[in-house]
Amino acid sequence: MAQLWGGRFTKETDKLVYNFNASISFDRKFYKQDIMGSRAHVKMLAKQGILTGKERDQILEGLDGILRDVENGTLEITSEYEDIHSFVEANLIDRIGDPGKKLHTGRSRNDQVALDMKLYVRDEIDEIDGELKTLLQELLSLMEKNVDTYMPGFTHLQKAQPVTLAHHIGAYFEMFRRDRGRMADIRKRMNLCPLGAGALAGTTYPLDREYTAELLGFDGPTRNSMDSVSDRDYVIELLSALSTVMMHLSRFSEEIILWNSNEYGFVEIDDAYSTGSSIMPQKKNPDIAELLRGKTGRVYGALMSILTTMKGIPLAYNKDMQEDKELTFDAIDTVKGCLRLFAGMISTMEFHKDVMEASAKNGFTNATDAADYLVNHGVPFRDAHGIVGRLVLLCIEKGISLDELPLEEYQKLSPAFEEDIYEAVSMKTCVEKRETYGAPGPQAMKKVIEENREYLEQN
């Protein structure tokens, strides 16, 4: 049991207590951030004359050695230490002796862990943003290829009006684009450095907090030392944003599961992204999409957990806050994995364009357009709505689509119908007429694709 404290204790820590209290099994994940924070702290201490230049160099060399050895596997982070901070400090003292004992001058584990967690979360935000960007690029290239792939648009899961695959995928593009916006907002708001807050009340050493903040890429130091050591808002914001990412992935996965079913047949998930059944030889299951949908629960769970942990904590640091880590790490890893898998799944998926178009036609998604045709020939909309409703009923009885209904039948219900009704209700026309900004019409769609292309080039 290697601890950084013990002077005022007369008994050994109970073994169960030690294990319950220790965080090394999970905070080992930010060994790099811990060392980076210590490097900046030491540089600042020397700049302020609190350490000599020689002591600084010895400590920096020792820290670099620890980092190198951990990364090349010669130094193992073991549960012999209480936490990652103790591990680094104890190893530093082992390596360089007395100067190592000066590392923790003007610092507490409270501001140290607040810093480590922020550095870790900030790095992960950048990685998640990269995964989101890769997914957006994939979605945009699918959109470019499918501006004239017709499919039914749904409301209430009932066929509603014809759209295109580009337009449908474009809806998800917007969701994931907003997710990236949330990452950027969180990063900006959290980017103040807590180091120098000490245990809670700052320190009597003349620290230069601006300098440490600058060395670590922060926009400046945090403004209140008590808040600095007890703020986990940014973790909550991140988990909330990650929950939204998962909600988006889950909705899209749900659609893919439906589209991949025998009943829809809109897509076929690649063999590499499907699994089989141990008993039913014919089965090819969309397990990956299902797991993506299922893992959403874990990420929501992490958000609920930290919200609950934080709700009753008095200022400033309390050990409850150690609970901010495990589930956050798990949520981050889950989301990164899911984004990568999802991008792989849709980039290898086959789209059955003919089935999609036939489904749009057979589901009367062009009924609104038939009514609009009558309106353009002078029939009031409410009457047109009734006439087309009766035409749809007739088609259902006959088991045909609107474009298969003979002209006489149309004309029996309204003399305004002429031969050009067939062109008016074709999927192509129905989509091509929808040219309001944001609609599936090809010109409107191309404009949005262009804007999103520019966005990806600039961000």
CA angle 183, 185, 187 (to 5 degrees): 70
Nearer to ligand ARG, 6 or 415 (CB): 6
Q: Which residue is nearest to ligand ARG (CB)?
A: 322
Contacts of 293 (CB under 8 A, 6+ apart): 249, 250, 253, 254, 257
Please list every residue from 9 through 28 that binds ligand ARG, using CB under 6 A.
Answer: 23, 27
Residue (of 220, 120, 234) closest to 187 by Cα position: 234
Nearer to ligand ARG, 156 or 319 (CB): 319
For residue 183, the minimal CB distance to ligand ARG (Å) is: 24
* CA dist., res. 170 & res. 366, Å (int): 21
For residue 335, the minimal CB distance to ligand ARG (Å) is: 22
Residue 113 touches ligand ARG, criterion: CB under 6 A: yes
Nearer to ligand ARG, 28 or 180 (CB): 28
* CA dist., res. 271 & res. 70, Å (int): 39
Query: Helix (H, G, I), strand (E, B), or coil: what is residue 79?
Result: coil
Tell me the β-bridge partners of 81: 2
Nearer to ligand ARG, 296 or 309 (CB): 309
Nearer to ligand ARG, 113 or 169 (CB): 113
- Identify the burial level of 382 via C-beta atoms within 10 angstroms of its C-beta, where 0-12 means exposed, 13-18 middle and 19 or more buried: exposed
Nearer to ligand ARG, 66 or 321 (CB): 321
Burial letters 221-243, b for 16+ CB under 10 A, else e: bbeebbbbbbbbebbbbbbbbbb
For residue 201, the minimal CB distance to ligand ARG (Å) is: 13
Q: State the DSSP code for 99.
A: G
Residue 146 touches ligand ARG, criterion: CB under 6 A: no
Residue (of 241, 177, 244) closest to 459 by Cα position: 177
Please list every residue from 269 through 328 that binds ligand ARG, using CB under 6 A.
Answer: 317, 319, 321-322
| Residue 360: both structure tokens together | 């749009």
# binding residues, ligand ARG (CB under 6 A): 10
* CA dist., res. 339 & res. 175, Å (int): 13
Question: What backbone phi and psi angles, to 5 degrees, belong to 351?
Answer: -100, 125
* CA dist., res. 175 & res. 250, Å (int): 12
Active site residue 277: yes
Tell me the β-bridge partners of 159: 154
For residue 206, the minimal CB distance to ligand ARG (Å) is: 24
* CA dist., res. 126 & res. 187, Å (int): 9
* CA dist., res. 418 & res. 407, Å (int): 7
Please list every residue from 40 through 59 that binds ligand ARG, using CB under 6 A.
Answer: none
Active site residue 243: no
For residue 25, the minimal CB distance to ligand ARG (Å) is: 11
Residue 83 touches ligand ARG, criterion: CB under 6 A: yes
For residue 271, the minimal CB distance to ligand ARG (Å) is: 44
Contacts of 290 (CB under 8 A, 6+ apart): 253, 257
For residue 104, the minimal CB distance to ligand ARG (Å) is: 12
CA angle 424, 358, 410 (to 5 degrees): 40
Nearer to ligand ARG, 86 or 243 (CB): 86
For residue 26, the minimal CB distance to ligand ARG (Å) is: 9
Selecting among 167, 253, 277, 401, the annotated active-site residue is 277
* CA dist., res. 376 & res. 448, Å (int): 28
Of 69-77, 109-117, 135-143, 258-266, the window that binds ligand ARG (rule: CB under 6 A) is: 109-117
Of 106-114, 181-189, 240-248, 259-267, the window that binds ligand ARG (rule: CB under 6 A) is: 106-114
Residue 109 touches ligand ARG, criterion: CB under 6 A: yes
For residue 23, the minimal CB distance to ligand ARG (Å) is: 4
Count of CB atoms situated within 10 Å of the CB of 187: 17
Selecting among 23, 156, 261, 385, the annotated active-site residue is 156
Nearer to ligand ARG, 321 or 346 (CB): 321
Q: Is the peptide bond before 367 cis (omega within 30 degrees of 0)?
A: no
Nearer to ligand ARG, 26 or 264 (CB): 26
Of 57-65, 105-113, 118-126, 451-459, the window that binds ligand ARG (rule: CB under 6 A) is: 105-113
Residue 228 touches ligand ARG, criterion: CB under 6 A: no
**Chain positions contacting ligand ARG, by CB under 6 A:** 23, 27, 83, 109-110, 113, 317, 319, 321-322
State the catalytic residues. 156, 277
